Chain A
Amino acid sequence: DTEVTQTPKHLVMGMTNKKSLKCEQHMGHRAMYWYKQKAKKPPELMFVYSYEKLSINESVPSRFSPECPNSSLLNLHLHALQPEDSALYLCASSQNSDEQYFGPGTRLTVT
């Protein structure tokens, strides 16, 4: 299995909602990533988990809260988002610093 899966594919939420994005991989990768991508821009790194511990937080606002319950699963909890947070959220995984495998993304719209 060489796939990173993400759910949901699309999400529309209000500014007062709480929602979660989910990412899963079964390649035995020990590093997992969250990226945010705005239209026609490259991805921006948000968080990196290495061996289930948060290793990089790129000064992301606290309304985004990552969680890594186990080595295969990565969540991104969303609360009190703003319309400018609307974007494609991509998850990726890698074996340490090797090639990253990306998921299909969750397209988030905040109304």
Chain B
Amino acid sequence: KNEVEQSPQNLTAQEGEFITINCSYSVGISALHWLQQHPGGGIVSLFMLSSGKKKHGRLIATINIQEKHSSLHITASHPRDSAVYICAVSRGGAQKLVFGQGTRLTINP
């Protein structure tokens, strides 16, 4: 079993829908990261959080440390949100990230 599990693996939705991507982890962490990767492209860091909730534009990330679970929400989704979203955790101040397998999101117009 992977230390970081994401669901769903693939998600297709219509423009405007509210999107939720989930991430569960099985180890103690110092921080959880949400990353975005467009096809053929580099990776953009969306959020780094260790507690509570963060919001940036239409994106919201939450984390529940007790339940070892995080969610990434996208409100009013748009085709340009189509990308792979990757959850990763860092442990005890270590520089190494442990990655989930990614969620491939497709938003149709």
A residues engaging B (CB < 8 A)?
6, 31, 33, 40-43, 45, 48, 50, 55-56, 90, 92, 94, 96-105, 107
Query: How many angstroms between the C-alpha atoms of A48 and B30 in the bound complex?
Result: 18
Q: In the bound complex, do residue A100 and residue B94 qualify as a contact, i.e. CB atoms below 8 Å apart? A: no
Query: How many angstroms between the C-alpha atoms of A6 and B42 in the bound complex?
Result: 10
Of all A-B residue pairs in the complex, the 9 with the closest CB atoms, nearest first, are A42-B99, A104-B42, A102-B43, A99-B48, A97-B93, A105-B42, A102-B42, A48-B95, A99-B45
B7 in the interface, Cβ–Cβ < 8 Å? no
Query: How many angstroms between the C-alpha atoms of A45 and B93 in the bound complex?
Result: 16
B106–chain A nearest beta-carbon distance, Å: 14
Neighbouring B residues of A50 by C-beta, 8 Å: 95
Interface residues of B in 57-109 (CB under 8 A from A): 86, 88, 90, 93-97, 99-102
Residue total for B at the interface (Cβ-Cβ under 8 A): 23
Q: In the bound complex, do residue A97 and residue B95 qualify as a contact, i.e. CB atoms below 8 Å apart? A: yes
Q: In the bound complex, do residue B45 and residue A48 qualify as a contact, i.e. CB atoms below 8 Å apart? A: no
Query: How many angstroms between the C-alpha atoms of A101 and B44 in the bound complex?
Result: 7
Q: Which of these, A55, A97, A104, contacts B41 with CB under 8 Å?
A: A104
Q: In the bound complex, do residue B96 and residue A45 qualify as a contact, i.e. CB atoms below 8 Å apart? A: yes
Q: In the bound complex, do residue A97 and residue B94 qualify as a contact, i.e. CB atoms below 8 Å apart? A: yes
- State whether A103 and B95 are in contact (beta carbons under 8 Å apart), knowing that A42-B86, A97-B30, A97-B90 are contacts in the complex: no
